[in-house]
C-alpha cells in the first residue's frame, strides 16, 4: 500500500503543477508581457473559471500526505516552515489580486491588484521550484553537528539562506545557488506553459507575440536544464542510478526531451493545443524523472548519521492505508467528474467571456 499511496501522491502533485502551473505562468505573462488592458483582460479570462479549482489539487495532495505519510508531513511542514508561510501569503495575494481588482473601477486600484497578481505568480513559480531543489539536494535530518544528532532523526529546520549560499554546506538554507537555479528553471518553464494556455484559450494579437517569446525562452530553458543536469552531479553524485538500473524509467526523461524540443516548433503548430501538450509533457516528464531518481527516498538526508526518509519509514499503519483506499476511490471519481464538467462548460476560447 505504501507504493500505491506514493504513486498517488506523485500523480496528484504532477496534476497540480500542470494545472495551477499554467495559472502561475499566465500571471507572469500578465506581469511582464501584456501591454494593453485588452491583453490583460484576455489573460484573466483564460484562467478565470479554472484557477481556484486547480488549487484543490494542492490541498488534496497535502491531505494525502497527512493521511498516508504522517511522518513526512510533520517533518516537511516544520522544516520548511518559513517558505511555506511565504507560499501561503503569495497564494493569498494571487487570489485577492484576481478577486478584488474588479470591485472598484479605479485605475490605481486595478493596477495595484494586477501587480499583486503578477508578482505573486512569479514568486510562487520561483519558490515551488526552489522547494523541489531542496528535496533533490536533501536536508540535514536530525540537525547533526560535529557528527552528533541534536534533534530527533526525522526533524530539521532550514533558514532562508546561509552566508555562503553553498548547497554542500553543513548548515543548509532554503536558498542557495542550486535551488535558485532550479527556481529559475521553474519560472521559465511555467511562463512557457502559461503562454501556451493563453494561446489555447484566447484569440488576441498577444498570441502571435507569445509564440516568439516561447521560442526565445525555450532556448534559455534548454541551456539551464543542461546546466542543472551537470550541476546535479556535483550536488548529488550518481543521481541517475535508479534509471541506469531500470531501463524502462528512461521513458520519463524521453517525454521531457520531447516536450522540451517540441516547443521550438511553436510558430508552426496549426492547432493551438499542441504547444500546451508539449509543455505538459516536459513538466510531467521532468517531475517524474526527478521522483524516479530519488525513489524510494522522499526526503534525502545529507548526513551519514540519520537515514533518509523513505516511503516505507514514514508511512502510516497498513490498516489505515487500506481503509483509506476505499474512500479515496470515491473522492477521486467525484473530482474527475467535476473537472470533466468544468472543462466541457468552458471549452473553446474565453477572451470574450469577460470572466473577472
- Report whether 91 contacts 120 (CB < 8 A): yes
**Residue 136: in which H helix or E strand, if any?**
helix 107-137
**Residue 73: in which H helix or E strand, if any?**
helix 70-79
Whole-angstrom distance, CA of residue 154 vs CA of residue 223: 36
Strands 297-299 and 159-161: unpaired
pLDDT of residue 353: 54
pLDDT of residue 49: 86
Longest dimension (CA), the chain: 63
The phi and psi torsions of 353 (rounded to 5 degrees) equal -75, -35
- Report whether 311 contacts 298 (CB < 8 A): yes
DSSP 76-134: HHHHTHHHHHHHHHHHHHHHHHHHHGGGS--HHHHHHHHHHHHHHHHHHHHHHHHHHHH
Q: How many residues does the chain have?
A: 356
pLDDT of residue 356: 42
pLDDT of residue 36: 87
- Report whether 7 contacts 179 (CB < 8 A): no
Whole-angstrom distance, CA of residue 307 vs CA of residue 69: 16
pLDDT of residue 319: 84
C-alpha cell at position 320: 489505515
pTM, two decimals, is 0.91
| 187 CB burial (10 A radius; 0-12, 13-18, 19+) | buried
Angle ∠(171,172,176) on CA atoms, nearest 5? 135
pLDDT along the chain (356 residues), means of 10: 91 94 94 89 88 88 92 91 90 88 83 92 94 91 84 88 83 90 96 94 88 94 94 84 86 94 89 92 95 91 89 88 86 88 82 54
Amino acid at each position: 500500500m505504501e507504493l500505491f499511496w506514493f504513486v498517488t501522491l506523485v500523480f496528484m502533485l504532477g496534476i497540480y503543477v500542470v494545472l495551477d502551473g499554467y495559472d502561475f505562468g499566465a500571471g507572469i505573462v500578465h506581469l511582464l508581457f501584456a501591454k494593453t488592458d485588452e491583453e490583460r483582460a484576455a489573460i484573466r479570462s483564460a484562467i478565470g473559471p479554472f484557477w481556484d479549482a486547480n488549487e484543490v489539487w494542492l490541498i488534496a495532495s497535502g491531505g494525502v500526505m497527512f493521511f498516508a505519510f504522517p511522518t513526512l508531513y510533520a517533518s516537511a511542514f516544520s522544516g520548511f516552515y518559513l517558505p511555506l508561510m511565504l507560499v501561503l501569503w503569495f497564494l493569498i495575494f494571487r487570489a485577492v489580486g484576481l478577486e478584488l481588482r474588479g470591485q472598484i473601477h479605479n485605475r490605481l486600484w486595478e493596477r495595484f491588484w494586477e501587480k499583486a497578481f503578477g508578482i505573486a505568480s512569479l514568486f510562487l513559480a520561483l519558490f515551488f521550484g526552489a522547494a523541489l531543489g531542496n528535496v533533490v539536494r536533501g536536508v540535514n535530518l536530525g540537525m547533526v553537528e560535529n557528527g552528533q544528532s541534536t534533534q530527533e532523526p526525522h526533524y530539521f529546520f532550514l533558514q532562508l539562506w546561509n552566508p555562503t549560499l553553498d548547497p554542500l554546506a553543513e548548515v543548509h538554507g532554503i536558498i542557495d545557488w542550486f535551488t535558485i537555479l532550479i527556481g529559475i528553471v521553474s519560472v521559465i518553464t511555467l511562463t512557457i506553459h502559461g503562454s501556451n494556455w493563453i494561446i489555447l484559450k484566447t484569440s488576441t494579437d498577444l498570441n502571435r507575440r507569445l509564440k516568439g517569446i516561447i521560442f526565445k525562452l525555450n532556448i534559455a530553458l534548454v541551456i539551464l536544464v543542461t546546466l542543472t543536469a551537470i550541476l546535479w552531479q556535483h550536488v548529488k553524485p550518481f543521481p541517475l542510478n535508479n534509471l541506469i538500473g531500470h531501463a524502462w524509467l528512461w521513458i520519463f526523461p524521453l517525454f521531457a526531451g520531447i516536450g522540451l524540443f517540441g516547443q521550438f516548433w511553436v510558430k508552426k503548430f496549426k492547432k493551438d493545443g499542441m504547444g500546451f501538450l508539449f509543455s505538459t509533457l516536459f513538466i510531467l516528464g521532468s517531475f517524474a524523472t526527478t521522483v524516479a531518481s530519488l525513489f524510494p527516498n522522499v526526503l534525502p538526508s545529507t548526513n551519514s548519521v540519520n537515514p533518509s526518509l523513505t516511503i516505507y519509514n514514514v508511512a502510516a499503519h497498513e490498516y489505515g492505508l487500506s481503509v483509506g483506499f476505499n474512500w479515496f476511490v470515491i473522492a477521486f471519481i467525484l473530482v474527475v467528474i467535476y473537472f470533466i464538467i468544468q472543462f466541457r462548460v468552458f471549452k473553446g476560447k474565453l477572451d470574450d467571456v469577460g470572466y473577472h
